[in-house]
Amino acid sequence: MKTIVLTTAAARQMDALPAPARTVLSEALALYAVEGIGDVKRLSGRDGFRLRVGDYRVIFDEDARTILAVYVGRRATTTYKRN
């Protein structure tokens, strides 16, 4: 099991989401942290990974014990460019 850590910006982004989306994203992150299950791909052209949950994305880095979420939000054309 890995520890999930949100950056300050990612925590603010998560708080700004509607409650149902927040719940689904939290459950998806927890499932990935515990069992390694989820729609996760390595980002091309930069370090990190993305977790896709419907129309939402979580951009994160991970090591053997920690998942560091950098961005949480709805998929847009600028999602991968700014974070």
State the CATH number of the domain containing residue 27. Answer: 3.30.2310.20
pLDDT of res. 83: 54
- Is residue 28 within 8 A of residue 20, CB to CB? The reply is no
Q: Classify the C-alpha dihedral 11-15-18-20 as positive or negative.
A: positive
Residue ranges making up the domain that contains 69 = 3-82
Of 38, 15, 35, the C-alpha closest to 6 is 15
Of 30, 19, 16, the C-alpha closest to 72 is 16
> Into how many domains does the chain fold?
1
pLDDT one-digit tens code per residue, 39-49: 999 999 889 99
CA distances to 26, 37, 39, 66, 72 from 17, rounded to whole Å, are 11, 23, 20, 23, 9
Average pLDDT over residues 21-34: 95
pLDDT of res. 8: 96
